[in-house]
A and B are shown apart, each in its own frame.
Chain A
């Protein structure tokens, strides 16, 4: 039997993650970039932390997929020698899924429709990732 002592993402009584600040960041991003439909912040192990999604979208499902997606992309970047992975984007005929690394321990998923201006999204998300990283680690 494996015993893990000191999980990466333990629940700690007494500590307070600022969920309101995280929610405000997600809201601003959806308001500022036309075409953003859903957003999730999750731990890099695929456990959702906070989400703003439509009723038919399961944040746990999206988080797990995003964690796997980011893990593969990170592995590819490291093996090929592309340096530190910052983001990976899935292009579909009906829309996009962008996954951003927030340090090595968290991630942010942004789903967008086919009218999403991807350049605008990448431009807007850079400062958001920085702020979310600070909120998650403070």
Chain B
């Protein structure tokens, strides 16, 4: 997703690489053949792994299953990462965002001002444009095609800078039935239900 959203690879090339990798069993080789360097690719793999660990840890884990699956991931990290090291990185990220009191999965954000303040970076302008009041940091990360951690941190900083604020529940959830009159309960039509054609009125 990061490769596609950044425009680093076209969707057609990505699909072709996926198809090719079924036979060669190496997505990395298929992507490298399409002009993406091994170092760049491995950098992305590491970033995705760290972001995945953060996304898992910052959410709620209801249950987990340990299985014997030995299927290798599509794009494995060349040298792997020790679980202790990954946990350590993740714990530091969790500690860092704890100071912001922004829940990446719960809190929706809206711009704090009606008019967009001048001098925003392109990255911040993009975040403001996506802050509809119905999107959480997680939703924005997907909409922007970026990692959850960098987007969460940037949103938290923008709240601290007075550019965004957490949306009230009435904004993040807007249920409407347009004041329509109550409808008859949805029950299956009985035998007295009929559609008649008055041929004399045709």
Q: Interface of A with B (CB < 8 Å)?
A: 1-6, 8-17, 19, 22-23, 26-27, 30-31, 34-35, 37, 43, 48-55, 59, 93, 102-106, 113-115, 133, 136-138
Contacts and interface: CB of A to CB of B under 8 A. Distances in A.
Nearest to A36: B139
B201 A9 contact: no
Contacts of B121: none
B181 A11 contact: yes
Interface of B: 1, 11, 59, 105-106, 132, 134, 136, 138-139, 141-143, 173-178, 180-189, 192-198, 201-202
Contacts of A136: 185-186
A59 B174 CA distance: 12
Contacts of B186: 9, 43, 102-103, 105-106, 133, 136-137
- Interface of B, helix, strand, loop or mixed by DSSP: loop
Nearest to A106: B186
B196 A19 contact: no
A102 B186 CA distance: 10
Contacts of A9: 183-184, 186
A68 B106 CA distance: 33
Contacts of A16: 182
A3 B142 contact: no
Contacts of A137: 185-187
A3 B198 contact: yes
A51 B186 CA distance: 17
A15 B197 contact: no
Contact of A113 (B132, B142, B187, B202): B142
A102 to B, nearest CB: 7
Nearest to B190: A6
A136 B186 CA distance: 5
A136 B185 CA distance: 6
A30 B136 CA distance: 11
21 contacts: A3-B198, A4-B195, A5-B195, A6-B189, A6-B193, A12-B182, A13-B181, A15-B182, A15-B184, A19-B177, A22-B175, A27-B173, A27-B175, A31-B106, A34-B59, A43-B183, A49-B177, A50-B175, A102-B186, A136-B186, A137-B185
